[in-house]
Every structure is written in structure tokens, then in C-alpha cells.
Amino acid sequence: MGKPRGQMYFASDPEISWEDVENLSSTTYNGAKVLLELLTEEGVEVIFGYPGGSLLTLYDALLDSPIRHVLPRHEQTAVHAADGYARASGKVGVCMATSGPGAANMVTGIANAYMDSIPLVILTGQVPTHLLGTDSFQEVDITGMTMPITKHSYLVKDAKEIPRIVKEAFYIASTGRPGPVLIDLPKDVLAAEVQNSNPPKLCLKSYKFFSKGNPGQIEEAAKALAQSKKPIVYAGGGVITSQASAVLKELVEKTNIPVVTTLMGIGSIPTNSPNFLGMVGMHGTITANLAVNDCDLLIAVGVRFDDRVTSGLKHRFATKAKVVHIDIDPAEIGKVVKSHIPIVGDARLVLEELVEKVVPPETEKWWEQLLNWKKQYPLCYEPDGHLNPQMILEAMGTYSDGDSIVVTDVGQHQMWAAQFYPVLNKRKFITSAGLGTMGFGLPAAIGAQIAKPKSLVWLVTGDGSFQMSIQELATTVQYQLPIKIVLMNNGVLGMVRQLQKMFYNERFNQIQLYSNPDFMKVADAYGIKGIKVESPEQVNEALKKAIEIPNPVLIDCRISPDEIVLPMLPPGKAITDILGGNE
């Protein structure tokens, strides 16, 4: 069963026990109550959802359920909130919406989670089964629409199938390479009365994945590392997903090898680690990019060699290196960059074996070169008396501890956060990486704050992204979520303007946000405290005041539209062509 992602299922048959369903009463319940009981059994504590006609039976049953419901103000943001919840907690996020436009509005959020391998279970209402395929009111083929962007999807046609489908959905979403699973629920299925019984044990024979890597390949990787002179670890989001951060740190400390990360990999190793060279790729550090170009061994862990790092140039990326690629999805091995030592398996389990077998290489001369690059090409900005976004992010870091979470939207502010905000632990940097979804930030911050109510949650956003989900300010107020929103307000679509400036001869077009509202008045309209920051001297006071307020706060930072993100690797250029250094 199932639509495999890259045909990644090869290992032992997972067996699902149904003993936990025996405690359900043998009395008759409708499908909605059975569904909620099963969600509770799966450990679901919160659902982000938006009601509608096809889901009213389910919403009626929710009144008697211990599951908490959070009402965002749009179906897309319901998915983003569940996504942020999953990233911050490590659990499966759950969201739902009604049929037709409600389900269709979720598509962008589902695609976002799919690209970043985030475990979600999405529940959608559907028209009654006898109306399927008739173009009835608020009918869309949501399983068909989302087939390319879900790990698997179900259309439930019999309420008796709900227990099996729910168990399968959570198992598929959270194992192997995680991802979203959709369950489409016709209105009559939710209303149908069913007798709870103990279903037979189920074996998902076609759903398989490697957990442990091949011992021979791991041995070969250990030998390659021992013999290398210029090794480097290239860590991605898979390190965080597989809970491999601790063993990665152990490997790095044992061998004293440098580490670079992808955008999704930020937090897999503390950014203040002496072995951390920075993010690699389009807006990565010059040192990280030069190191990848010059290394003789590249140990890629939980990455997919996306074009933001490689520029899509198979033959001009890490050309001097032997590549070790560790990933749970065999479809990613060799897809973009040739792998000399492929290891299919869970990153944590593979790294644990590698640590046991590895002999530290001689890296003194390599470190001399790396430290020289770090000195020559530091991440820097000019403190010229203006309000610098980089300075704001550095100041935020001084008020944060290892438990603080930073969530970003997409644009220049996202890259500045990746470069300058200190991330000390896994699951503390949440961003839309693969799809690059503007409007992701605020609802994702809502999900993260609900997942971690005791953590300080920052949202770093821009005036373009912020207005794509600005209605979610109401959600922060309704649920008393003390998110601190740092708005980089420059009156333009900053990243688009930067690209037009650098590569289109400053022929600016459709990037001015002339009719931006007064965000202080917007905040006040929602009952949120607003703080305006217009000079460097006001930053620390504003951040300190915001943290002291036990409610959501909007900090409107007026930055210049001329601020640009450097370094920058021009699209389609080799990794050594990165622009911006200490000039």
C-alpha cells in the first residue's frame, strides 16, 4: 500500500498491534467518536483546525474529547501551525479542515511540510460517499490534488476502516523519512454508527525502510575518514529528525573535524562550537563554502544536496572529495551528487556505529587553512549608526537561552537569522526551507509556542511575509501566546529587490509595499503591545521590555530597504563564486 517516496522501504516488516484498541467499549459509536478515541490513543493532545459543514459531526464529538482544539484564522495556517508544533516537539502534528475550499486551502501547507520532511496527519472533511465524483457543493478530490505532496493519503469509505487507517497514518507519517499523511473523511462516514471490535493484527508488507546502515559501508567510511587530510561533515535536517545531534557532536569532538550545515540543519550542532564553520550554500559563510570546495572527504548526513547549496551543478560541487552520503531515503543517494560510499539508514544509528570504528585523522594543517579563512572572511556588517538587522539578531541572542526558539518567515530576514542568531540546541530554529513559504512564520510560531509553552519563542519576519498571515495575531491573543514578533520593516519585498539590484541592473519592479499599514495601530487593534524601534540605541530596551510582557508583543524595526544579505552565491554559479567578504 502507499505511494512510496523514492521507493525507500526495504527492511523488516513492521507489525502493528491492535491491543490498545481493545479498551474501546463494544457499544456503538459514530465514526467521529471512534476517530477521536484513536487520536487520543496515538497521544494527540492538540488539533489545529477550521470547522465547516462536512466536519460538524466531528466538531460535535470534540466537545466530549480531551483533545485541545486551536482555531487559526485560515486553513493554510492551520497546517503551518501543526508543522511548527511538530518541529518544536518532535511529535506528529495534526490539523483539519472542511471539504472543498477548506481542504484546497491546505495544499501549500502540506507541500511545505512534505519538502521539509515534517510528520503531519491531515484530516479533511468530504462530501457524502454517494455524492463523490458528482461535482457536488464543496467537493474537491483532495487525495488526488495532494498525491505528489503527501507520503500517503486515504479516502475513507467505510467507518469500520477508521481504526486501521488511523494507525497506519501515524506510523507512516513518523517513521522512515517523515512526511504528511492525509485522511479524507466523507460526512456520512463520520456519522455512521459502528460497533467497536478488535481488528486483526496488521502487517504493512509494502512499507519498509532501512534503519541500520550496512556494516561494510560504515567500515569503509571509517577508513576513508582516518585516511583523509581535509574532511568535513555536511549536516542537514535529517540529523535533527533522527535525534542524532548528540552523536554528531561526539563524532566531531573525537575526530576534531569541521562541520557545515544546511538551513534545515541549523541546531544539529551548537553554532558556538569551535568546529562549526557556518551554513553552506547561497547565503552561507565564505569559509563553509570554500571548505566544501577544497575538502577531500565530505560526510553528508541527512541532506539531499539541494540546489541552494550545490547550485544544481553536479560536476562543480565538492569535486575534490570522496563523498559519504548517509540518508534514510535511498532515493536521495546519488540523485544530485555522486556518492562514493552510500549508506542507507537512520542517521543516529549509522553515526553511532561510525563513532565506534573511527580513528581520528590528522587535521592540523587543514585547521590552519580553515582558521585563516575564518579570519579573512568573517560574517560581518557595518555598524554605521543605522538600524542594522544583523545587530538586532545578535542582540536577540543575548536575551535567549538554550531553550529559546526562533521561528522565521522567508526572505532576507530568514537569512540574517540563519547567519547571526545563535542556535545552541536542536529544534530551536524553525523555518520554511525547501518550499520557502512566505506567511509560514507566525502560524508556525503559534504551533511552536503551544508545543513548548515554557520556552521563549521569537518570530523573525518581514513586512511582506507578515501580511500573508497577519490575521493570526488574533490567534495569539485568543490563546494568550507570549510570542515576541520582531518585524524587519523596510517597506519592500527585500529579497526580490536584492536580486533585482544585483542581477537586473537595479530595474526595480513590483517590490514597493507603498500601502503598508501602521503596524503599531494594527497591533493595537488586535490588543497586542507594539514597540517601535528606529535606532540602534532602542534595540536592547525594546527586547528587554518585550520579554517582560507575558503576552504577545510586536516589535516594529524600521530598517533600510538598501540592506542586503551577504555573502551570496549567484544562482547557477559554482560554490567558489560566492560574493561578499570583508569588503
Residues whose CB falls within 8 Å of the CB of residue 529, separated by 6 or more in sequence, listed in order? 523, 546, 549, 551, 552, 553, 554
The C-alpha atoms of residue 549 and residue 252 are separated, in whole angstroms, by 40
Contact indicator for 282, 443 with CB cutoff of 8 Å: no
SS3 for 580?
coil
The C-alpha atoms of residue 458 and residue 422 are separated, in whole angstroms, by 13
Question: Is 253 annotated as catalytic?
Answer: no
Catalytic annotation, pick one of 45, 138, 227, 250: 138
Catalytic annotation, pick one of 37, 42, 75, 352: 75
Question: Is 75 annotated as catalytic?
Answer: yes
The C-alpha atoms of residue 160 and residue 172 are separated, in whole angstroms, by 20
Contact indicator for 50, 72 with CB cutoff of 8 Å: yes
Transcribe 174-230 into DSSP letters.
HSSS--EEEEEEEHHHHH-EEE---PPPEE-TT-----SPPHHHHHHHHHHHHH-SS
C-alpha cell belonging to residue 1: 500500500
Catalytic annotation, pick one of 1, 7, 137, 195: 137
Question: Is 322 annotated as catalytic?
Answer: no
Q: Of 445, 438, 479, 553, whose CA–CA distance to 71 is shortest?
A: 479
What kind and span of H or E run contains 277? strand 276-279
The C-alpha atoms of residue 441 and residue 355 are separated, in whole angstroms, by 37
Question: Is 537 annotated as catalytic?
Answer: no
Q: Give the amino acid at 2.
A: G
The C-alpha atoms of residue 324 and residue 459 are separated, in whole angstroms, by 36
Catalytic annotation, pick one of 151, 167, 187, 426: 187
Question: Is 210 annotated as catalytic?
Answer: no
Catalytic annotation, pick one of 396, 488, 495, 568: 495
The set of catalytic residues is 75, 137-138, 187, 495
